[in-house]
Amino acid sequence: MSERKWVFMPSHRPLAGTLAQGLGISPVTAHVLINRGIGDAAAARAFLQAELAHLHDPMLFSQMPRAVQRLERALRDGEGIGIFADYDVDGTTGAAVLYKYFSMLGRTARTYVPHRVTEGYGLSAAAVDFFAQAGVKVLITVDCGTNDHAEIERARERGMDVLVVDHHETPTRASAAAALINPKADDRYPFKGITSVGIAFKVAWALSKGVGRARPAGTRFEEFLLDAMGYVALGTVADVAPLVGENRVFVSYGLKALGSCRSAGLRALAERAMGGDVKAFDTFDISFKLAPRLNALGRVGRAEDTLELLVCEDSVRIEELLNLMESANRARREIEDAIYRQAVEQVERRPELQRDAVLVVADERWHVGVVGIVASRLVERFGRPAFVLAIEDGMARGSGRSVDGFRLHEALEASRDLLVSGGGHAKAAGVGVRRERLEEFRRRVNEHAADVLRDAPQEAVLEIDEEVRLSEVTRGLVRELDRLAPFGEGNAPPRLAASHVRVAGPPRLMGKKNDHLSFHVRDGSGPALRAVAFGRADAFDRTAAATTLSLAFRPVLNAWKGRESVELHVDDIKFV
């Protein structure tokens, strides 16, 4: 029996009818658009057809002119340029965009990506000293730097101007950076959901508008823009950013760019991840095929290798890096599975953790590079925010992942006096706390959660866009709904429901482990549609015994031997 409560979005039938007529679409698709806050024809057309013209002028960042002026001077005077990037995919892809842009201008920027385990997050004194010794005069931080006040002061003392390209939360005090380009610290920039790689793209775009050596030839810049869109899509989806606004444009164009990428390293990565087929990408491919491989190097290896792969053009070195990446990814999976099992055991044997609204688990055996993935899996299993920390030398360091309605960065601010380090977003954050203060940290975040989640629903809910009859779920409707892609955070695939449908024939189990359920359903005299419930082998007996049931599902088109048919990917089943 389902444990999730189905919540149907409000009905807007008159508005949906008007929107459907104005756009020439079905009322079902119109309802889905309205559910996403799009209630007029002009906004709907813009949403359904993402255009480059919908990107905001980079100069809307209030401190972008400072950054452009400083980089133009560096390019004109031959000053050294350095790029310090965070070790995640958003950071490394953002660094790759800037590195390739400067390379196009004939300049080689010095790069530094910290080791996740030995150095941790953010700009460090060691990195500042590295760039100073290399003669760097302009240092760009990508996906970090907003709150690295002491390190930026150190860079200034050593003769460097720091340009911060970041999207983390608003700094706790005024930055000493020569320019802080961060939408969350900028009242002028209209879209707060842009990622660091998107901002890096904006820096290159703004710089290209300048004069002198900063302006590449038109055709070369257009080619660069195409490839850069692929990097932006990769970093945006990997960072689980909302796929609305500018991000929707970036990802829409970037998915196409990945299929025709001219960068040898990125193209080879795509071919390896996709089994040679690089013509068509979607957000699932980035989330589950490309991003995990890139992240693996940073989790159980060196993220510097990730950046090198993204910008490399040497086929021999690319093959070496790809083999290193695959080895790291296999090791990451093994380590992750072991930590996950131990974390679940810890939750299940400690009654206080079972009562907590926010899980905080830690262990000396765990690898700090993998705990973020484990935190995500705990959130999925227990339906609660989770912090997973690795203990070493008296320090517990790790990552948190969250659910809707609980902002991790706010929870960390409520515990700031306990922390050695901590920061991030609403859904993902990093934290460092001394071992002896772990229990106090657990208590504090749960006290914060008691206030924040007091009015939150206590049961898991499943939001339904619209209830339909199966006869309405045609190939034409599915193609219409597919126009709402790319799907991801902030733009989930449309979910429909069909009530009291008849089971047409016996179900069967499928998959290598027989862990998926397949069956057919129909309503009225219409054709039977195939339904697939992934991971729901547990529902086999009840489905076999059922005459009717209700389904929450996502409709897809399945092509098999040249024949295209509608298939229902089931999210939940209610037996009636």
DSSP per residue over 13-27, as a string?
A: HHHHHHHHHHHT--H
Rg (CA), the chain: 25
pLDDT digits (tens, 9 = 90+) for 343-368: 999 999 999 999 999 999 999 999 98
Which CATH number does the domain housing residue 36 bear?
Answer: 2.40.50.460
Tokens representing 287 are: 């989330």
The phi, psi pair for 117, rounded to 5°, reads: -80, -50
- CA nearest neighbour of 295 among 244, 339, 331, 342: 331
- Specify the pLDDT at position 481: 96
Angle, in degrees to the nearest 10, between helices 89-104 and 196-208: 20
**Residues 70 and 146 occupy one common structural domain:** yes
Q: Which of 348, 547, 497 is nearest to 5 (CA)?
A: 497
Residue 407 and residue 428: Cα distance in Å, rounded? 9
Contacts of 44 (CB under 8 A, 6+ apart): 19, 23, 30, 33, 38
Q: 83: which strand partners? A: 111, 140
pLDDT at 212: 41
- As a whole number of angstroms, the distance between CA 164 and CA 94 comes to 12
Is residue 225 located within the same domain as residue 139? yes
List the CATH number of the domain containing 391: 3.10.310.30
DSSP H stretches of helix in 110-195: 125-133, 149-157
Tell me, yes or no, whether 180 and 41 share the same domain: no
Q: What is the value of pTM for the model shown? A: 0.87
Residue with tokens 């320090």: 395
Q: What is the pLDDT of residue 3?
A: 65
Same domain for 301 and 230: yes
Residue pair 196/235 in contact by the 8 Å Cβ criterion: yes
CA 96 to CA 90: how far, in whole Å?
10
Query: Are 235 and 296 part of one and the same domain?
Result: yes
Boundary-marking domain end, from 391, 418, 452:
452
Residues 359 and 320 in one domain: no
Same-domain check for residues 476 and 405: no
Enumerate the H helices of 239-263 as residue ranges: 245-259
User: Residue 322: its pLDDT value, please?
Assistant: 95
286: containing domain: 54-324
pLDDT-flagged residues of the chain (< 50)? 1-2, 211-214
Other C-beta atoms lying within 10 Å of the C-beta of residue 348: 11
